[in-house]
Amino acid sequence: MIGVFDSGYGGLTILKEFLRELPEYDYMYLGDNARAPYGNRSHEAVKSFAEEGIQYLFSKGCILIIIACNTASSQVLRELQEEYLRTPKVTDRKILGVIKPLAEKSAKITTKKRIGVVGTRATVQAKSYDHELQSLDPTIQVYSQDCPLLVPLVEEGWSHKPEGRMILKKYLRPLKSANVDTLILGCTHYPFLIKDFRQIMGKSVNIPHPGEVVSASLKDYLQRHPEIEQLLSKKEGRHFLTTDDPVRFKEVGDRFMKTDLKNIQKVDITKTTK
Ligand code: DGL
């Protein structure tokens, strides 16, 4: 089974593309809604929450976990990958994130070598997109902007209202002035605003769709790692887990996925042992 971990609903934008691109696999989605948002949390908090989420998904039989949350990917993916590499029982289990695929795609398409990154405060502070992009090409200049108001705007369905657009314009102003030619949507919620981002930034700025980039990268990973691919069950199962109210998860989740979500279960992830 493939696990998809997120702080809440946002990772559904990534799962949606996995289901389109790689529908044959079984998926288990875990949203830590009870403790979301992660975006303004400390490194220590994000680390312990993500660790619990990963442990829970492994304990339920996931072989491969994608941390869809940019905040968790940028703050703690490396540490968690290293930790699990040292755990003998779980050497055949893998954890992947979203930073690397988005950075690789953007480094490939930029012509002016000026890349903008938008995300939560914690993602921008962690500078993982900066490090990843500069390790791919040291001549790339990265301009980052945290946009803390966008997550609640999307979840409350306010993002397309004039107030939402005004806030987005204000956030994007410095990136327009920096003349970036590529913009990374470094937060699970921003694909909902991709049209607005494109309109405000203008036609000359490339804005890759995170779900499409990450699912293409997962497809490629599975082709390069048949030893992992063959361990994955393929019965088209879909399981949705939340640490908070499943009724609210369904309401928002249906809107995010544009479908009627089934199999939503409330879980306690704080008590799993390694
Ligand atoms: N999933 C988070 C991210 O991609 C956004 C929501 C949150 O702050 O928890 O950064």
- Kindly state if the Cβ of 7 falls inside 6 Å of ligand 1: yes
Task: Output the six-digit token pair for 41.
Answer: 């949390």
pLDDT in tens, the chain (274 residues): 999 999 999 999 999 999 999 999 999 999 999 999 999 999 999 999 999 999 999 999 999 999 999 999 999 999 999 888 777 665 678 999 999 999 999 999 999 999 999 999 999 999 999 999 999 999 999 999 999 999 999 988 888 899 999 999 999 999 999 999 999 999 999 999 999 999 999 999 999 999 999 999 999 999 999 999 999 999 999 999 999 999 999 999 999 999 999 989 999 999 876 6
- Give a yes or no: residue 274 inside a domain: no
Range of the domain at 56: 2-97+212-266
- Kindly state if the Cβ of 69 falls inside 6 Å of ligand 1: yes
CA 184 – ligand 1 centroid, Å:
14
Structural domain count, the chain: 2
pTM attached to this predicted model: 0.96
Q: Are residues 206 and 217 in the same domain?
A: no
- Kindly state if the Cβ of 38 falls inside 6 Å of ligand 1: yes
Q: Which residues are catalytic?
A: 69, 187
What residues contact 149, with CB distance under 8 A and at least 6 apart?
A: 167, 171
The rounded radius of gyration (Å) of the Cα atoms in the chain is 18
Q: Are residues 190 and 254 in the same domain?
A: no
- Kindly state if the Cβ of 77 falls inside 6 Å of ligand 1: no
pLDDT of residue 271: 83
Q: Which of 13, 15, 32, 71 to mutate to test the pocket of ligand 1 (most atoms within 8 A of CB)?
A: 71
pLDDT of residue 88: 64
Q: What CATH number is attached to the domain comprising 61?
A: 3.40.50.1860
Rounded CA-CA distance 98/96 in Å is: 7
Q: Are residues 165 and 250 in the same domain?
A: no
Q: Are residues 105 and 196 in the same domain?
A: yes
